[in-house]
Amino acid sequence: MEDDRLGDLLRELPREQARPDFTARVLERLESPATASRPRVRLLLAAAAVVVSAVSAGVLIDRQAASRESIEAAQAQQILQDLRAEHGRLQRELRELSQPPVVYIGGNEDVDLVLDLGKVRGAAGATPAAYHGETF
pTM greater than the 0.75 cutoff = no
Query: Is it the case that residue 11 has pLDDT exceeding 70?
Result: yes
| pLDDT score for 55 | 86
Over residues 57-98, the pLDDT tens digits come to 888 888 888 888 889 999 999 999 999 999 999 988 887 776
- The pLDDT of 91-116, averaged and rounded, is 81
At 12-61, the pLDDT tens digits run 888 888 888 888 888 887 777 665 556 677 888 888 888 888 888 888 88
Q: How many other CB atoms are found less than 10 A from the CB of residue 64?
A: 10
How far apart CA 92 and CA 85 sit, in angstroms, is 11
E strands, the chain, in order: 102-107, 112-116
CA dist., res. 101 & res. 115, Å (int):
9
Q: Percentage of the chain surpassing pLDDT 90?
A: 12
Q: From residue 23, give the alpha-carbon distance in Å to each of 15, 20, 108.
A: 18, 8, 127
Instruction: Convert the pLDDT of each residue in 112-126 to its tens digit.
Output: 888 877 777 665 555
Please report, for the chain, the start and end positions of each structural domain, with discontinuous segments joined by +.
22-99, 100-136
Count CB neighbours of 107 within 10 A: 10
Q: Which pLDDT score is estimated for 75? A: 92
- Determine contact, residues 112/131, Cβ cutoff 8 Å: no
3-state secondary structure labels for all residues of 53-71: HHHHHHHHHHHHHHHHHHH
SS3 call for 35: helix
